[in-house]
């Protein structure tokens, strides 16, 4: 082996030793950093522990090892329930994310509807209707409302009867006749002329209707 080969090997050996020293120094620095972190955590943990112990003493709370053991066992026993709760929370979170566009569209539709109702005057009419209710409540007493509740079925039956086609036709005809009579000049009738009118067939039918109606009312 000549001198050149020896020098090359020595240089290579020096380079490798430098690499090993760098690795050792780097590892030493990491070890020191970890030790410093452990020391800091230990100090902070001790401070937290001392503060917790002092607070527990001030609150007169005693922690027994048996209680802590039961707490740990209870937590371990309910890990499955905790996992299910987390799964439900994640599902609820996913549902909220999926429902946000739908809720957004629903809110926009509601705003548009409210705007449409406002333009049509629904809210103004409801406000006036509230005044009607207020006047009704102010006018009627509690006894009046109680009597109304006792007779509501009879009143509804009466309203139902008033809405039948026959009764509506009768009322309509009566209104038409009333309007016609109002527009005409009402003649004067003497007793004898009235008696002659009563002998006419239509008047006899009218009187028959009135007599029959009055008899029915008296029976009821």
- Domain end (from 62, 85, 113): 62
Asked whether residue 41 is domain-assigned, the answer is: yes
State whether 10 and 40 are in the same domain.
yes
Q: How many domains does the chain have?
A: 3
Asked whether residue 127 is domain-assigned, the answer is: no
State whether 20 and 55 are in the same domain.
yes
Asked whether residue 172 is domain-assigned, the answer is: yes
Asked whether residue 193 is domain-assigned, the answer is: yes
**CB contact at 8 A, 204 and 198:** yes
State whether 180 and 197 are in the same domain.
no
SS3 154: helix
- Domain end (from 25, 44, 62): 62
Asked whether residue 29 is domain-assigned, the answer is: yes
**Distance from chain centroid for Cα 101:** 18
d(CA 25, CA 39): 21
19: containing domain: 1-62
Asked whether residue 80 is domain-assigned, the answer is: no
State whether 1 and 56 are in the same domain.
yes
Q: Which pLDDT value is given to residue 3?
A: 64
Asked whether residue 150 is domain-assigned, the answer is: yes
Using one digit for the tens of pLDDT, what is the confidence trace for 92-123?
888 878 888 887 888 888 888 888 888 888 87
- pTM confidence score: 0.30
- Could you tell me which residue, 150 or 34, shows the higher pLDDT? 150
Greatest Cα pair distance, the chain, in angstroms, is 170
Q: Nearest Cα to 137, choosing from 129, 155, 158, 121?
A: 129
State whether 181 and 192 are in the same domain.
no
Asked whether residue 158 is domain-assigned, the answer is: yes
Q: Which pLDDT value is given to residue 183?
A: 61
Look up residue 3 and give its two tokens.
Answer: 């001198």
């Amino acid at each position: 082996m000549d001198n050149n080969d020896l020098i090359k090997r020595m240089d290579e050996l020096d380079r490798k030793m430098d690499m090993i020293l760098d690795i050792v120094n780097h590892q030493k620095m990491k070890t020191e950093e970890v030790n410093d972190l452990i020391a800091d955590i230990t100090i902070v943990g001790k401070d937290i522990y001392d503060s917790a112990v002092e607070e527990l003493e001030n609150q007169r709370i005693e922690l027994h090892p048996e209680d802590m053991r039961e707490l740990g066992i209870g937590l371990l026993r309910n890990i499955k329930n905790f996992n299910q709760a987390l799964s439900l929370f994640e599902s609820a979170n996913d549902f909220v994310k999926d429902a946000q566009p739908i809720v957004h569209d629903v809110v926009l539709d509601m705003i548009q509807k409210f705007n449409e109702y406002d333009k049509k005057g629904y809210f103004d009419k409801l406000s006036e209707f509230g005044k009607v209710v207020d006047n009704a409540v102010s006018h009627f007493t509690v006894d009046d409302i109680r009597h109304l509740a006792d007779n509501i079925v009879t009143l509804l039956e009466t309203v139902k009867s008033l809405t039948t086609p026959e009764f509506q036709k009768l009322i309509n005809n009566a209104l038409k006749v009333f309007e016609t009579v109002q527009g005409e000049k009402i003649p004067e009738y003497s007793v004898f002329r009235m008696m002659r009118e009563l002998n006419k067939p239509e008047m006899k039918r009218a009187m028959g209707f009135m007599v029959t109606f009055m008899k029915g009312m008296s029976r009821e």
